[in-house]
Every structure is written in structure tokens, then in C-alpha cells.
A and B are shown apart, each in its own frame.
Chain A
Amino acid sequence: MTVLLDVRSLSTQFTTHHGVVRAVDDVSWDVAEGETVALVGESGCGKSVSALSIMRLVAAPAGRIVGGQIFFKGRDLLTLSEAEMRRVRGREIAMIFQEPMTSLNPVLTVGRQLTEGLEIHLGMSAAAARARAVELLGMVGIPDGAGRLGQYPHQFSGGMRQRMMIAMALACEPALILADEPTTALDVTIQAQILELMKSLSRRLGVAMLMITHNLGVVARYADRVNVMYAGRIIERGTARELYAHPRHPYTLGLLRSVPRLDEPRRARLAPIEGQPPDLSRLPTGCAFVPRCGFSVDRCGRDRPGLRAIGAAGHVSACWEAERLAGIPAHAA
């Protein structure tokens, strides 16, 4: 598999009243062509900022990419001019956001929002772009596309708006789609429709996908590889299968054990991760998970562990005590 996106030592910071927040802190990961990679973690772990950094859409002046490289098809996106970057956005890398209502323009018709990119990026004529827009709507399961082009986003339901976002993302046949919590705002039956649609389209068109989510179930079903983030860093990575079966970081293990599961007998009591997520402007010198960790030893408070290979090929964990997790079942039932 050819590497499509290669993020190396990316660091993104925000300057706030309370000090510098290291939202993404020296993070490296990659996506191969046609692959679906997940970035999992809880609010504030840096997963959305990672995606915005790739698009170079981190809100300045508070937010700034302070280090690293983002190689896409061999070019470092961080060295491109703003004009060159505009040709990448939408054309080669597209983004799908969580809340389609706020990411669509309420005063432009559905048709205009779909054709704009086609005309600008691909130089299509208005008529050709309209024909393509109808085709795109059909592809994402919106019937009567021609009749829909004149409508506005508020005339669409939540599920239809998210389908439209997907159609917009696919419009220029990008090589990579960044999907930031694409179904979190949707009901579970609509979520299933949208995810199945994204999966089949990405297979059919060979589009690679970065799926950003906090939902461990969604990741299990749709991702090939998984990166788990905590406090701005990746703390574990592996194939979905390996990571769910043999988690080797106490945080991943804790996440998996804390959720009630429909496929298992009901437990008398849930096993939460105690404590609170850390304050990113006051991170400890050692491992950021120490205050909530049941496996920590003296060293964890002093030395911050880096990712190191463990178990199966490609499985890495940032935990000094990773070996001790072997043999602990990944679910608490």
C-alpha cells in the first residue's frame, strides 16, 4: 500500500489567557491510499485540531501549527502557498463536519453549493456541473436530484443534509476525506444508513478516509487502523482487530471496559475511568494519564513514554507498563 498522507511530528498550539495549550503535541500517523483510519478520543484530545491542521484551517492568530510536516502525495502541505493550498482543499482533500446545518451555507441553494466546487476546481461549465450535481445526489441516495437543486439546506432533514455534505465532499473525487464525527448528530438508524453509504462509496471510488470519532462501535465496524489520542498525543495505534482484542494502553483498555455493550450480559456495575481529563495548558512532565491510571509506577510520573512496538506488527503503545496489560480481557463482562 502506498502512503497517501504522512503526518510527521505535528504540533499545533493555541495561545489562551491560561497559557499555551498544546492541542496536538508531536504527533505522527499516516493513511494509505484507499484506507480508512480512525482517530479516536474524547473531547479536547486533539483529534479535530489534527484534521484542521491538515487542511491548514486552524483558527489564527490563537491557533498555530508550530512544528512538523504533513506530506500528502509526497508534498509537504505546510510549505504550500495559500493559493496552492486552496487547490488542495475540496479538490484533493475534502472534509465532512459533524453538524451539517452549520457547515452548509443557509442562503445558497443545494445546487449552488454542489456546483461551486465543480466549476472552480474542475473548470466545468454550469450545465455540466448541474448534471454532475444531480448524479452526486443520486449516488448518496437523494432521489429527484434535479428537483432538489433549487432547494435550501433548511428544507432537508438532518440525515439528508449529511448526505449532501458527503455529496459535496465526493464532488471533485478527492483522494482523501476527513470526516469529523460525521454521524454524531444523527439518530442511530440514520447513522447506520450514512456509515454504510460512506463505506460503500469509499470502497467503490477508492477514497481514503480519516474518521474522527469518540464512538468505539463506529470505529470497530468501519476502520482498518485506529489511532487512540489522549491529551494531544497518540497513545496507541494498531489494526482495529488487534487494538480491540489486545489493548496495550491503560486508557484504551479503560475506554473499552467502561462502555456497556449490547452483545454481552448486563453487568452489575460499569467500570469507569476515574478522575477528569487533564488540563492541556498544565500537562505533567510524565505521562498525562498517570492521575487516572491503575497501572502507573514511579517512572510514569517522571518520564513521558513514547510510542513503541508491541505485539503484532504495527501495534504501538505509549506505556512503560504495556506488557502488564497482556491477559487482561478487553471487556469487563
Chain B
Amino acid sequence: MPPDDVLLEVKDLVKHFEVGAGFFGTQAGTVRAVDGVSFALRRGETLGLVGESGCGKTTTGRCVLQLERPTRGSIVFEGQELTTLGEAELRGVRRRMQVIFQDPYSSLNPRMTVGDIVEEPLAVHRIVTDGAARAARVRQLLSHVGLLSQHARRYPHQLSGGQRQRVGIARALAMEPSLIICDEPVSALDVSIQAQIINLLEDLQAEFGLTYLFIAHDLAVVRHISDRVAVMYLGKIVELADRKALYDDPLHPYTRALLSAVPIPDPELELHRERTVLGGEVPSPLNPPAGCVFHPRCPIAIDRCRSEIPPLREVTPGHWAACILA
């Protein structure tokens, strides 16, 4: 891809957390939350980041935002290396990248009205200095996300879950960002509301040319919204491809197992559907398995998988997989 097309480039990102010997005698060690992750985001695209809890997808997002400082690796956003920036310099950068959280209730201040929540970043970052203009901008932002101007006077607890998530989106938009990290933005919402919010995110992307890093565990939702998809397992990307290639022709046995585990809302189809149910559980990132991290649960593992770490390699053009058998 041409370099000026790349909005964000993450290279060999590593984030380890040291855990000390705790009060209850927990073992000291290193949690390898993110262990060598690389990907790039083009302007205007949506990259889905999927995986199960503890796979490192949220930590990856927080490292991009520099809410966690990476242990190693590089994060270049709009041509600027972020990992070496100080807090003051990061403030300017953070205007350009925003985040939408999973739980809109715990991420909105319960004592502020919706209007104040959306207005605050405009004032703090001096985006709109004139008070009347700021109020007008708040109304405009609320209407972008499908809320009415009278919602500005309400408090978060007076809104439904879907409306609260709309407030979170309006607050993110207020900064006029180029990149939005969406961390499980619909998983706390009811099914009928999820589709509303997904459609809204797509409309806003088209209108404002936004780029999304869409972190989620719901494979059907990720397929709908993403242009490309990265699958994470135990701190590593195990597969990365265009949406169609990943879903139509998954190369990594973990991706295949994930896809087969998703029940399809069709009893007729489910009756005859073969399922690969993975045994065991995700190992602890405190002590990941040697060789391929997936080998203890892998249905096709061979001897070499126990010792050899499979690199993420381009198996077909644009389709990367970290499996020696792919």
C-alpha cells in the first residue's frame, strides 16, 4: 500500500505486565498480554480485531491510544511515532484518535448531563471557544448520532443503553478524530439496538471519512463491519486477511474453530451442521505454551508445532496465517 495511505502502523508491539508476589502468595511472573503484534490501517478502512477474552485485543487498542505504554515496538500514527512522545505531546495526538467503550454506562459521568459530556472535550481542547457556538456544535453532534436536542438536558441514567452508546459516539466525534478505536461497542446492547449502532457507525464513517479499529468477539458483527480482519490468540495475531478471504477460506485452525462455534439462528441448518468443539481452555498468558501457542487445543497439531513458533506469513496475497500447516 502507498505509505501516505497508511493512517496507523503497528510494528512488533509487545506489552508485558509484571505481576508481583501478591498478598495471597500469587506467583510472580510476566503476563504476555500482547506478544509481537503488527498490522497497518489504511485511511477510511475498518480493521476488525477478534478473539476471546484475554487474547490481548483490548490491550492492543489501549497501546495504540497510549493509555498503556508498550513494552516494545513501534506505533506510527499520521506519520508520527507515538511510543517516544511525552504526555503533553500525546494530548494533541489523542484529539485525532478517540475511543468508544463497551459499557456506555460506566464510561459516561453520571453527574453530567449529556450536553455537558459532549461539550467538555470541545472546551478542554479549545476546539470551539465561543459558548454559543459550542452549544450549537453540541446540538449538531447529537443530531449526527440520532439524538434530539432535548436529550442534551438528560443524565446518562435517563437514557436507554443504545442512546447512551450514541452519547459516547458523539463525544468521540466532537474531537474530529481520524481514527476511532471501537472496543466492543455493541456487545452490551440488545440485539435490536446493535444493528442501529452498527448502521450509525457505518454512516459516520462514510460521512466523515473515519478509520475504525473495531475490537469485538462477535464474529458475525465483525464480518459485517470490517474490510479486513485480524484474529488474535494469546497475545498474537494468528490470521489476518481481507474479510471475504478470512470468512470464506480461513487458513488457521483456530479461526476455523471459532467460526464453527458460532451458532447460526436457523434450527434446520443447525440440525445438520458439523461442529468442531475445541477442547480445553485458553492457556494462561503468564505461562504460554512453547512452540505454537495454539498447539495444545489444535485438532491438527503435529510434533513440530510443539517446538516451532510459526511466523505470521503471507500464504496467499494479502492473506496471512501463523500456522506451519496453512
Contacts and interface: CB of A to CB of B under 8 A. Distances in A.
B129 interface: no
A9 interface: no
B219 A188 contact: yes
Contact of B263 (A221, A266, A292): A221
Contacts of B270: 217, 220-221
B223 A191 contact: no
B139 interface: no
A277 B202 CA distance: 23
Given A159-B281, A189-B258, A261 B217 contact: no
B259 A258 contact: no
B199 A272 contact: yes
Interface in B149-191: 160-163, 190-191
Q: Which of B219, B220, B268, B275 has the most CB of A within 10 A?
A: B220
Interface string A181-211: 0000001111111011000000000000000
B243 interface: yes
B195 A258 contact: yes
Contacts of B278: 189, 192-193
B300 to A, nearest CB: 16
A262 B199 contact: no
Contacts of B259: 262
B120 interface: no
Interface size class of A (residues with CB under 8 A): 35 or more
B220 A259 contact: yes
Contact of B220 (A158, A221, A261, A271): A261
Interface residues of B, number: 43
A192 B192 contact: no
A266 B262 contact: no
Interface in B192-226: 192-196, 198-199, 202, 217, 219-221, 223-224
Interface stretch (A119-127, A171-179, A238-246, A280-288): A238-246
Contacts, number: 130
Nearest to A239: B267
Nearest to B297: A189
Given A255-B191, A271-B195, A187 B265 contact: no
B103 interface: no
B292 to A, nearest CB: 17
B105 interface: no
Nearest to B268: A241
A256 B266 CA distance: 10
8 contacts: A42-B190, A42-B191, A159-B281, A244-B266, A254-B192, A255-B192, A272-B196, A273-B192
Interface of B: 52-53, 160-163, 190-196, 198-199, 202, 217, 219-221, 223-224, 243, 247, 257-259, 261-270, 275, 277-279, 281-282
Given A187-B282, A244-B268, A256-B265, 12 more contacts: A157-B281, A189-B258, A189-B278, A220-B263, A220-B266, A220-B270, A258-B192, A259-B220, A261-B265, A272-B192, A272-B199, A276-B160
Closest 8 CB pairs of A and B: A217-B263, A272-B195, A187-B52, A273-B192, A42-B190, A270-B195, A216-B265, A260-B224
Interface of A: 42-43, 157-160, 187-193, 195-196, 214-221, 240-241, 244-245, 254-256, 258-263, 266-267, 269-274, 276-277, 292
